Amino acid sequence: MLDVCLLGTGGTVPLPERWLTSCYVRCEGTAALIDCGEGTQIALHKERISCKHIDLIFLTHFHADHTAGLPGLLLSMAKADRTDPIMIIGPKGIEDLLKGVMLIARYVPFEIYYRQIEGKEETFEFGSLSFTAFHVKHSVPCYGYEINVKRTRRFDPKKAEKNGIPKKFWGLLQKGQTVEHDGQTYEPEMVLGDERKGIKMVYSTDTRPCDSLREHAKDTDLLITEGMYGVADGLEKAVANKHMTMQEAAALAREANTKCLWLTHYSPIEHNVEEYAEELRAIFENTVLSKDGERADLAFAHEGVRDD
Amino acid sequence: MLDVCLLGTGGTVPLPERWLTSCYVRCEGTAALIDCGEGTQIALHKERISCKHIDLIFLTHFHADHTAGLPGLLLSMAKADRTDPIMIIGPKGIEDLLKGVMLIARYVPFEIYYRQIEGKEETFEFGSLSFTAFHVKHSVPCYGYEINVKRTRRFDPKKAEKNGIPKKFWGLLQKGQTVEHDGQTYEPEMVLGDERKGIKMVYSTDTRPCDSLREHAKDTDLLITEGMYGVADGLEKAVANKHMTMQEAAALAREANTKCLWLTHYSPIEHNVEEYAEELRAIFENTVLSKDGERADLAFAHEGVRDD
């Protein structure tokens, strides 16, 4: 349902075996990247994900470890004969960033549209996905993203029968369509029951732990945050550089009642993140010290009844 | 003497196991890159070459597969606490390119100087290295680079004795210093004999075979050129895209009497370049189908006498 792949897990500076942070998400016909560090096009290639069909790129902020892969990615899309426009969304200043990208990329034969995130929070809807940008606490303007896959409301056959809806219209009404027939108007409301939980994930880096992140992280199926440092003096470094330690991320995940935490955006001083596994899982059990290519296909929660 | 390392051998689009073209050269205290495609900073890291101490970056042209690694490289230099200025040299338009680089890199805490190559040919001298940019034949303004390490003229003890030079001044005079002593002036010319061949290499990509390249490639110790295509219809593609086939490069190397040819800048359609080895070595025996990390330390030719 919601295919999620961490293309790179490096922060600041890439390592030979660790790409810079970029996250791919896809649901039904919509595919997006969040961030696009140097080398993202190669990481996509490694994961056998076509760069041609990415519809959207969201940027958390404009530090180059999150953006410098854009010229190469756009040109690889061009080499793959892309003609569809692309949409790039980011904080204030996106227009200038894209000017810089185009001074390097030069010739991109498809349209590049952009949207500047306004205010503390803004939601963008694309196909079955919604992306809510929320302001976080870094050294420059920076946003996290909450991604939601909405689920149709439960179908209530008793309600449908009670309202005398002909069975042949049940399917259309459940999908949200209004039906006119023999002078009668049938509304979706006449067959729909309770709301159902969709899929909710959050991707947020770089930031100190903050209220907006805590709020959006609540009850997520997947929370992806930076775990910049794990070392003993990590907190001091994290406070100084406006980042978050692995331990802080695990505590935030526990507090937020997330199902699973993936850590990413490791400092290049952190060569062997697995050494913190035990310590972190004592704070929050479902902590994954992600590697490049970490991937999951998030599904709607099983309810013991058919979805449609 | 002249340390040469091909950091990447890919053209156009990087592959998971093939970085984009960039060439590192170092001689005594001077280190330079020619071109800086996406991922160059990672390739340097892999080759254990410090990015901090690169003095110069030469750009052949402004297609992004030769330039998009600049923001990341400059930022990694910054992270390595570089404070020394850097010099970047390239064709007309370098100022705009660097504007783009800085819109992505944002904060670089050392000076970036640049020089725009003027005319068909221009020579830049740095330490013991000279770099001659020469115009080649691509779809956009593009330069190849001839790199020379000069060698001091042979020391001629008979001439020195004949000119009555006190032995204690021989060393200084040989190094090119004029010495004043007891009202006498001793000139280097009084002890120096024949010119001696230095080290000459050429790096040139992207271009069709052309006279300027043929001329500069003459009698090189090392010639590095693109071998964009090896396939049967490669010539057709090369002519259309203003590139050079492997076979054309080998023929040019033979004609130029170079000692050794390294091919680079392979098209992403060329996955296994070794399949052309036999065919190419029948054209020019010392053809190397370079891999990422191809490295050599070129020395002055042995003359059977001590150098100094």
Residue range B281-300: mean pLDDT, rounded: 95
Tell me the per-residue pLDDT of A30-49, one tens digit each, with 9 for 90 and over: 999 999 999 999 999 999 99
Work out how many CB contacts closer than 8 A connect A with B.
106
Position B258 scores a pLDDT of 97
Contacts of A75 in chain B (CB under 8 A): 13, 64-65
Rounded-to-integer distance, Cα B14 and Cα B37, Å = 9
Chain A within 8 Å of B78 (Cβ-Cβ)?
Answer: no
Residue range B239-244: mean pLDDT, rounded: 94
Mean pLDDT for chain B overall: 93
In terms of Cα–Cα distance, which of B198, B214, B227 is closest to B288?
B227
Position A194 scores a pLDDT of 86
Greater pLDDT, B94 or A308: B94
Domains of chain B as residue ranges with CATH: 2-151+197-297 (3.60.15.10), 157-190 (no CATH)
Tell me the per-residue pLDDT of A116-141, one tens digit each, with 9 for 90 and over: 999 999 999 998 899 999 999 998 99
**Cβ separation of A68 and B72 shorter than 8 Å?**
yes
Tokens 């980011």 locate to A90
Closest by Cβ to B68, choosing from A71, A79, A99: A71
Closest by Cβ to A42, choosing from B14, B100, B106: B14
Residue range A70-88: mean pLDDT, rounded: 94
**Cβ separation of A68 and B67 shorter than 8 Å?**
no
**Cβ separation of B71 and A68 shorter than 8 Å?**
yes
Q: Name the phi and psi angles at A253, rounded to 5.
A: -65, -40
Look at residue A265 and tell me whether its pLDDT is greater than 90: yes
CA distance A27 to chain B (A): 26
**Cβ separation of A104 and B67 shorter than 8 Å?**
yes
Contacts of A45 in chain B (CB under 8 A): 14-16
In terms of Cα–Cα distance, which of B258, B234, B259 is closest to B248?
B234
Closest by Cβ to A76, choosing from B13, B100, B101: B13
Look at residue A197 and tell me whether its pLDDT is greater than 90: no
**Cβ separation of B42 and A16 shorter than 8 Å?**
yes
Q: Name the phi and psi angles at B292, rounded to 5.
A: -55, 135
Look at residue A305 and tell me whether its pLDDT is greater than 60: no
Cβ(B270)–Cβ(B296) below 8 Å: no
Position A308 scores a pLDDT of 42
The pTM of the full predicted model, rounded to 2 decimals, is 0.87
Look at residue A296 and tell me whether its pLDDT is greater than 70: yes
B176 confidence band (pLDDT: 50, 70, 90): confident
SS (H, E, C) chain B: CEEEEEEECECCCCECCECECEEEEEECCEEEEECCCCCHHHHHHHCCCCHHHCCEEECCCCCHHHCCCHHHHHHHHHHCCCCCCEEEEECCCHHHHHHHHHHHHCCCCCCEEEEECCCCEEEEEECCEEEEEEECECCCCCEEEEEEECCCCCECHHHHHHCCCCHHHHHHHHCCCCEEECCEEECHHHCECCCCCCEEEEEECCCECCHHHHHHHCCCCEEEEECCECCCCHHHHHHHHCCCEHHHHHHHHHHHCCCCEEEECECCCCCCHHHHHHHHHHHCCCEEECCCCEEEEECCCCCCCCCC
- Which residues between 13 and 52 in chain A have a beta carbon less than 8 angstroms from any beta carbon of chain B? 13-16, 38-39, 41-42, 45-46
Residue range B280-287: mean pLDDT, rounded: 97
Contacts of A76 in chain B (CB under 8 A): 13
Chain B within 8 Å of A96 (Cβ-Cβ)?
Answer: yes
Residue in chain A nearest B48 by alpha carbon: A16
**Cβ separation of A106 and B12 shorter than 8 Å?**
no
Q: CA of B86: how far to CAs of B51, B56, B109, B130, B250, in Å?
A: 11, 6, 11, 17, 35
Question: Model ipTM?
Answer: 0.84
What is the percent of chain B where pLDDT is above 70? Answer: 98
Cβ neighbours around B236 below 10 Å, total: 12
**Cβ separation of B104 and A68 shorter than 8 Å?**
yes
Look at residue B154 and tell me whether its pLDDT is greater than 90: no
Look at residue B307 and tell me whether its pLDDT is greater than 60: no
**Cβ separation of B38 and A69 shorter than 8 Å?**
yes
Rounded-to-integer distance, Cα B96 and Cα A104, Å = 9
Residue in chain A nearest B100 by alpha carbon: A100
Look at residue A98 and tell me whether its pLDDT is greater than 90: yes
Look at residue B63 and tell me whether its pLDDT is greater than 80: yes
Q: A28 CB contacts (<8 Å, ≥6 apart)?
A: A127, A128
Look at residue A303 and tell me whether its pLDDT is greater than 80: no
Contacts of A64 in chain B (CB under 8 A): 71-72, 75, 104-106
Q: CA of A177: how far to CAs of A160, A168, A186, in Å?
A: 14, 13, 9
Burial class (CB in 10 A: 0-12, 13-18, 19+), A89: buried
b/e per residue, A249-275, with b = 16+ CB within 10 A? bbbbbeebebebbbbbbbbeebeebee
> Residue B244: left (phi > 0), alpha (psi -120 to 50), or beta?
beta
Q: Quote the radius of gyration of chain A (alpha carbons, Å).
A: 21
Tell me the per-residue pLDDT of B71-105, one tens digit each, with 9 for 90 and over: 999 999 999 999 999 999 999 999 999 999 999 99
Contacts of A63 in chain B (CB under 8 A): 106
SS (H, E, C) chain A: CEEEEEEECECCCCECCECECEEEEEECCEEEEECCCCCHHHHHHHCCCCHHHCCEEECCCCCHHHCCCHHHHHHHHHHCCCCCCEEEEECCCHHHHHHHHHHHHCCCCCCEEEEECCCCEEEEEECCEEEEEEECCCCCCCEEEEEEECCCCCECHHHHHHCCCCHHHHHHHHCCCCEEECCEEECHHHCECCCCCCEEEEEECCCCCCHHHHHHHCCCCEEEEECCECCCCHHHHHHHHCCCEHHHHHHHHHHHCCCCEEEECECCCCCCHHHHHHHHHHHCCCEEECCCCEEEEECCCCCCCCCC
**Cβ separation of B101 and A106 shorter than 8 Å?**
no
Look at residue B69 and tell me whether its pLDDT is greater than 70: yes
CA distance A55 to chain B (A): 20
**Cβ separation of B100 and A96 shorter than 8 Å?**
no
Q: Which amino acid is at B228?
A: M
Residue in chain B nearest A74 by alpha carbon: B64
Position A17 scores a pLDDT of 85
Closest by Cβ to B76, choosing from A13, A99, A105: A13
Position B302 scores a pLDDT of 73
Position A268 scores a pLDDT of 92
CA distance A300 to chain B (A): 34
**Cβ separation of B45 and A79 shorter than 8 Å?**
no
**Cβ separation of A106 and B15 shorter than 8 Å?**
no
Rounded-to-integer distance, Cα A201 and Cα B21, Å = 38
Rounded-to-integer distance, Cα A27 and Cα B93, Å = 42
Residue range A270-283: mean pLDDT, rounded: 96
Tell me the per-residue pLDDT of B16-37, one tens digit each, with 9 for 90 and over: 889 999 999 999 989 999 999 9
CA atoms within 13 A on the CB side of A14: 35
Look at residue A96 and tell me whether its pLDDT is greater than 50: yes
Cβ(B32)–Cβ(B154) below 8 Å: no
CA distance B4 to chain A (A): 21
Look at residue A252 and tell me whether its pLDDT is greater than 90: yes
Residue range A240-268: mean pLDDT, rounded: 96
Cβ(A21)–Cβ(A65) below 8 Å: yes
Residue range A244-253: mean pLDDT, rounded: 97
**Cβ separation of A38 and B69 shorter than 8 Å?**
yes
**Which residues of B are identified as catalytic?**
65
Chain B within 8 Å of A100 (Cβ-Cβ)?
Answer: yes
Q: CA of A79: how far to CAs of A51, A109, B9, B208, in Å?
A: 10, 10, 18, 21
Residue in chain B nearest A80 by alpha carbon: B13
Contacts of B38 in chain A (CB under 8 A): 38-39, 41-42, 68-69, 71-72
Angle in degrees, CA B8, A77, B34, rounded to 5? 25
- Which residues between 153 and 212 in chain B have a beta carbon less than 8 angstroms from any beta carbon of chain A? none
Position B151 scores a pLDDT of 86
Cβ(B228)–Cβ(B249) below 8 Å: no
Tell me the per-residue pLDDT of A155-184, one tens digit each, with 9 for 90 and over: 888 999 999 898 999 888 888 889 998 888
Position B130 scores a pLDDT of 95
Please name every residue paired with B133 in a beta bridge, in sequence order, or none if there are none. Answer: B122, B145
Closest by Cβ to A16, choosing from B46, B67, B103: B46
**A307 classed as catalytic:** no
Dihedral angle sign, alpha carbons of residues B152, B154, B156, B159: negative
Greater pLDDT, A302 or B14: B14
